[in-house]
Amino acid sequence: MATYTKLSSGSWRAQVRRKGRYISETFLNRDDARRWATENERTIDQGGTPQPKRIARMSTFADLVDLHVADMTEVGKAPGRSKAATLDMLKRELGKKAVVDLDRDRLIKFGRARASQGAGPVTVSMDIGAIRLVLSHAAAVHGIAASAEPVDQARIALKRLGLVGKSNERDRRPTEDELTKLFAEFDGNDRLTIPMSRIVKFAIATAMRQEEICRVTWDDLNTRTRMLMIRDRKDPREKKGNDQRIPLLKVSGFDPLGLIEEQRESRTNSEERIFPVNHRSAGTAFRRACQDLKIEDLHFHDLRHEGTSRLFEAGFEIQQVALVTGHKDWKMLKRYTHLKPESLHAIADSRAA
């Protein structure tokens, strides 16, 4: 049986002790305390998890989204900009729906609506995945009756309808002619203050991401060991603290340490970063140059692809390349392995030597 205690403030504290479980809450009146206690006793008898009143009051999908965000923020894993935008969209589209109403039919209807708005299969797939994440989190962490099974069923249906799918693996690599034109464009632009030629060469030499290049500092560099520390490297599981030391290898056609030394010559005492540039500005300069030169479908991130491929072409094994690129899942690394056939000559010559 639950016990009820009237506090000096006039409120009532309800305490439930049943089958080794204990939970307590405070209410303004005794009737609310009794209803809450009775419901939780029933939940325990049915093998469920008793819920604090804050959780018990949650009934809409928007409630569960807010709960997920609050929990992740509390443990230092707040959603990033992209995920936060997806969750905001889901709250607008589905937030007022009761959790029990998010059945297979409703989710299929949501997927169709997103596709009609112009969302591609990859985007719809990510949206459905986010819905599943929110429901699974509520069930696993708080014992809320939220099943992910309707989401899985809806995904199967949407996949067969062609509305969800995986992204096509990019295999775009810049040609030598394109790189030559880009370097000439950057170096010949007197109005460009960003050392774009150096940044592009460094991206290929290290297979680093655009924002990583513009974030590393002089303190992260060890010239004696030719090592560079990349802090908080992007990882799908760890957003912070994923630091990695990478070797500055001179095998891609560009010398990363030499490029850093060129940067040192233009350094001022106040500059902590090796490339003190806003990474978005660098991306804009790269896109503008490609447009002016009519180089089609080339992204800055393709330079990471190029650098990774050149490491394989230099004869490194997949586990060795991962020490440079930071890939923890070697299967993911395979999508960057688009080798040029002529590179096999150099690999064969090095093994024959």
Q: Are residues 94 and 240 in the same domain?
A: no
Residue 118 placed within a domain: yes
- 3-state secondary structure (DSSP) of residue 239: coil
Q: Are residues 133 and 190 in the same domain?
A: no
Spatial separation of the C-alpha atoms in residues 85 and 65, rounded to whole Å? 12
Q: Are residues 99 and 217 in the same domain?
A: no
Residue 170 placed within a domain: no
pLDDT higher than 60, residue 236 = no
pLDDT at 336: 60
pLDDT at 352: 62
Q: Are residues 20 and 43 in the same domain?
A: yes
Q: Are residues 44 and 71 in the same domain?
A: no
DSSP-derived letter for residue 100 is: G
Q: Are residues 339 and 198 in the same domain?
A: yes
pLDDT at 172: 87
pLDDT at 162: 92
Residue 86 placed within a domain: yes
* Helices and strands counted in the chain (H then E): 16, 6
Q: Are residues 21 and 100 in the same domain?
A: no
Number of structural domains found in the chain: 3
Q: Are residues 180 and 262 in the same domain?
A: yes
Percentage of the chain beyond pLDDT 90 is: 56
Residue 96 placed within a domain: yes
DSSP H or E segment with residue 3: strand 3-6
What pLDDT, in 10s, does the model give residues 266-314? 877 788 999 999 999 999 999 999 999 999 999 999 999 999 999 988 8
Q: Are residues 138 and 199 in the same domain?
A: no
The amino acid at residue 103 is: D
pLDDT at 348: 64
Question: Considering 15, 35, 54, which residue would you say is the last residue of a domain?
Answer: 54
Domain that holds residue 21: 3-54
Between vectors from CA 138 to CA 133 and to CA 143, what angle results, nearest 5°? 140
pLDDT higher than 80, residue 1 = no
Mean pLDDT, all residues of the chain: 87
Q: Are residues 26 and 121 in the same domain?
A: no
Question: Considering 110, 125, 160, which residue would you say is the last residue of a domain?
Answer: 160
CATH of the domain at 266: 1.10.443.10
pLDDT bucket at 241, cuts 50 / 70 / 90:
low
pLDDT bucket at 339, cuts 50 / 70 / 90:
low
Question: Considering 131, 160, 189, which residue would you say is the last residue of a domain?
Answer: 160
pLDDT at 80: 82
Q: Are residues 204 and 272 in contact, defined by beta-carbon separation less than 8 angstroms?
A: no
Q: Are residues 338 and 206 in the same domain?
A: yes
pLDDT higher than 90, residue 219 = yes
Lowest-pLDDT range of 10-24, 126-140, 261-275: 10-24
pLDDT at 56: 61
Q: Are residues 337 and 254 in the same domain?
A: yes
pLDDT at 96: 93
